[in-house]
Structure 1
Amino acid sequence: MDGMTWLLNLPEQNLPLILADNGFDVWIANARGTRYSCKHTSLDPSSPDFWNWSWDEMATYDLPAIFDYVSNQTGQKINFVGHSLGTLVALASFSEGKLVNQVKSVALLSPVAYLSHMKTALLVIAANSFVGEIINLSGMAEFDPKGLPVVDFIKSLCLVPGVDCRNLFTAITGLRENCCLNSSSVDLFMMNEPQPTSTKNIVHLSQNVRLGVLTKFNYGRPDYNIMHYGEIYPPIYNLSNIPPNLPLFISYGGKDALSDVIDVKIMLDHLKFHDADKLSVQFIEDYAHADYVMGVNAKDIVYNVVTTFFKHQF
């Protein structure tokens, strides 16, 4: 997704403007490869080399670059908000000691780290069918969800019993599970999202789904892994390495098909030694994945809590 997703709801219902109205200096980031993040000093999006990355690079290079830029502009420590993949990238960075000296506090909404209990039928089947790997072998480095080759792959998966693809948004997020969406925001979302990513990123996420372990990208050959990591298997991101005194607010929903309750609890188990007064966890029984960004009542249930949490950090 690109950063516009945060702004789909009315001004009084979206988190960036709510934070701005509360006196925060708000910066909105865009994921690599999306329409506002397609420029490079030497590579063009038409080149396969442009797409040679996964969320590893987003955690290692992109988020630190964003933090450095904002820190240099403001001279202040940063309150970070992430949703879905944005939480995964942040957790991976923090676990490796990156950004921790620049961050004041962190809010993770619908957190994604472990994915093996994900209930979204289309994505589970795609991961277990090695769709990303197949597309990668075909030489297609850019994964455009609205491009013809990917659409054709998705159509073939939609023939599998139990997969309902009448609406791509429904197939991915489980629209019936999302309790409180603004229908006009959903229409805007479908007009603008999802944006392209790299096929390598899809492969990496699929590896996370299949293995149930949070690791760096697996190149599939011991010699390739040794070349990149100095060992046969890709290193694990150890979330217990996140500094225990880093203020964390985590909110997850009981109806979330992507950030499943069991997977969130596995993540929380890795944070069991976190300072009790620095870890705040919110569970919302009726909330699903998209409610955190497009819920008409998200301000009252989530955003006001996030705002208060940030204001209490010193």
Structure 2
Amino acid sequence: MASNLQIVVSFLVCGMAMVDAISHSDSIRSGNFSAVAAGHGVCRSVVEPQGYSCSEHKVTTKDGYILSMQRLASMSGSRSRKPVLLQHGLFMDGMTWFLLPPGQNLAFLLADNGYDVWIIHGPVSKGYLVNKLTSVTLLCPIAYMHHMSSLLMRGSIDLFFAEKFLEKMCKLPFAGCNSLMTALSGKNCCLKPSAMDSFLENEPQPTSTKNLLHLSQMVRRGTIAMYDYDNEDKNVKRYGQPTPPVYDMTQIPKDLPLYLTYGSTDAITSAKDVQILLRSLKDHMGGKLVSQFVDNYAHADYVMADNAREKVYEPLLGFLKMYN
């Protein structure tokens, strides 16, 4: 296997990474890693019909979570470059990367460019990748959320109804899922109808109540901090202090290549909040922090727009090749 890994991460609805030497002998936080039968999983139903090599795996983390993963390569079977981990966002799963057709979605484009592509379903345990990353690409990254303008997203997070609400409303003939998607994520410029159909068939996915509570706290308080138990004794027991610690962006290695891309009409990832994030990374090593501002792009465009390849994925591939 290649010696380093890159990661692309999709936040909320849309991210990616390159990682150091991952192999079958590696583990997630010393957990168990093993191949599983393909069955009717993503490989058999989505990847292999397009002529790509694919294998299904499962990961049992040290804290007991069982995550599914897929590994795919180009139709030639070549994996000459570094491994790439595709991490979906909240309310989504690994199908995020296949909403667009072959030749347009990020997973197949990476495989076609020779990358060893790994798709994960579920969260990565903290601390697993920090010493293995060679670069990180963030699509419409959510960190600070104080300027989130989507009232629908704010309400759904606070009331914990996003998953069922979207599922039911999109199926009503008078509602129109495109209009609902606009209310949720901002005015998307270029959603591909077939990608929207795939979204309705596979998404959204459930998440934990604690995840939603945590998001709600950060939206309401304008902070990027660990989960607040709203009880000083519980916070002290968990963190050793009465209030939850703030995530320290300066702890991100200053020489780690970072690529952030965000859109002008995104109602979830506000450009103002991304600017706050970029300011927190102001001491990052010159040339190692790249940001891309995409005019007229909203949150869903990053995985469902008919021009996502030209607007986002090709510049992203250029960034990865620069640090490959």
Per the alignment, residue 39 of structure 2 pairs with none
The secondary structure found in structure 1 opposite 2:140 is strand
How far the C-alpha of 1:250 sits from its partner, in A, is 0.8
Q: Distance in 1 between matches of 2:225 and 2:175?
A: 30
Residue 266, structure 1, aligned to residue 276, structure 2: yes
Cα deviations by residue, 1:194-237 (Å, 9 ceiling, x for unpaired): 10100111000000100111011000111111111111000110
Tell me which residue corresponds to 1:310.
320
Q: Aligned residue pairs: how many?
A: 227
State the one-letter code of the partner of 1:253: G
Partner of 2:153: 123
Of 139, 143, 163, which aligns to 1:113?
143
Q: CA RMSD in A?
A: 2.3
Aligned to 2:163: 145
Contact 1:169 1:190 in 2 (8 A): no
Unmatched segments (≥5 aa) in structure 1: 33-57, 68-98, 133-142, 156-163
CA contact (8 A) 1:5 1:293 kept: yes
Deviations 1:46-84 (A, max 9, x none): xxxxxxxxxxxx5526xx2xx5xxxxxxxxxxxxxxxxx
Structure 2 SS opposite 1:251 = strand
What secondary structure is seen at the aligned counterpart in 1 of 2:226? coil
Asked if residue 283 in structure 1 is aligned to residue 283 in structure 2, the reply is no
Q: Indicate if the aligned counterparts of 1:144 and 1:195 stay in contact, CA closer than 8 A.
A: no
1:183 aligns with 2:193: yes
Q: Match of 1:14?
A: 105
- SS across alignment from 1:29: strand
Identity over aligned pairs, percent = 45
> Partners of 1:112 and 1:283 in 2: how far apart?
15
SS of the residue 1:305 aligns to: helix
1:186, 1:25 → 2: CA distance? 27
Q: By how many angstroms is 1:126 displaced?
A: 4.2
CA–CA distance in 1 between the matches of 2:302 and 2:290?
Answer: 17
Cα displacement (A) at 1:110: 0.4
Structure 1 counterpart of 2:78: none
Please list the CA deviations of residues 239-298 of structure 1 after superposition, one character each: whole Å capped at 9, or x if unmatched. Answer: 122111110111110011100000000000100111121011111111110111111111
- The answer to whether structure 1 residue 251 and structure 2 residue 261 are counterparts is yes
1:3 paired with 2:31, answer: no
State the one-letter code of the partner of 1:172.
Answer: L
Which has the larger strand fraction? 2
Alpha-carbon distance in 2 for matches of 1:178, 1:110: 13
Deviation sequence 1:97-155 (CA, Å, 0-9, x none): xx1x211111111010011111111122345xx424xxxxxxxxxx7822xxx789x99
Tell me how far apart the structure 1 counterparts of residues 292 and 213 of structure 2 sit (CA, whole Å): 31
Q: Normalised by the size of structure 2, how large is the TM-score?
A: 0.66
1:173 partner amino acid: S
Structure with the higher fraction of residues in helix conformation = 1
Letter paired with 2:93: D
Q: Letter of the aligned partner of 1:8 in structure 2?
A: L
Question: TM-score, normalised on structure 1?
Answer: 0.68
Runs of 4+ in 1 over 6 A off after TM superposition: none
Residue in structure 2 matching 1:224, options 224, 234, 238: 234
CA distance in 2, matches of 1:126, 1:241: 31
**Pick from 33, 48, 60: which aligns with 2:126?**
60
What is the SS of the residue equivalent to 2:283? coil
Paired residues for 1:294-305 under 5 Å: 294-305=304-315
Report which structure shows greater RCO (CA 8 Å, sep ≥6).
Answer: 1
Contact 1:105 1:313 in 2 (8 A): yes
> Is 1:24 aligned to residue 115 of structure 2?
yes
1:166 positional shift: 5.8
Moved more, 16-25 or 181-190: 181-190
Distance 2:255 2:101 in 1: 35
Query: Against the structure 1 CA distance between its residues 248 and 23, is the aligned structure 2 distance closer, same or farther, given a 3 Å change threshold?
Result: same
CA 250–151 in structure 1, closer or farther in 2 if over 3 Å, else same: closer
* Structure 2 CA distance for aligned equivalents of residues 105 and 151 of structure 1: 34
Q: Which residue of 2 aligns with 1:236?
A: 246
Q: Would the alpha carbon gap of residues 208 and 165 (structure 1) be closer, same or farther in structure 2, given more than 3 Å must change?
A: farther
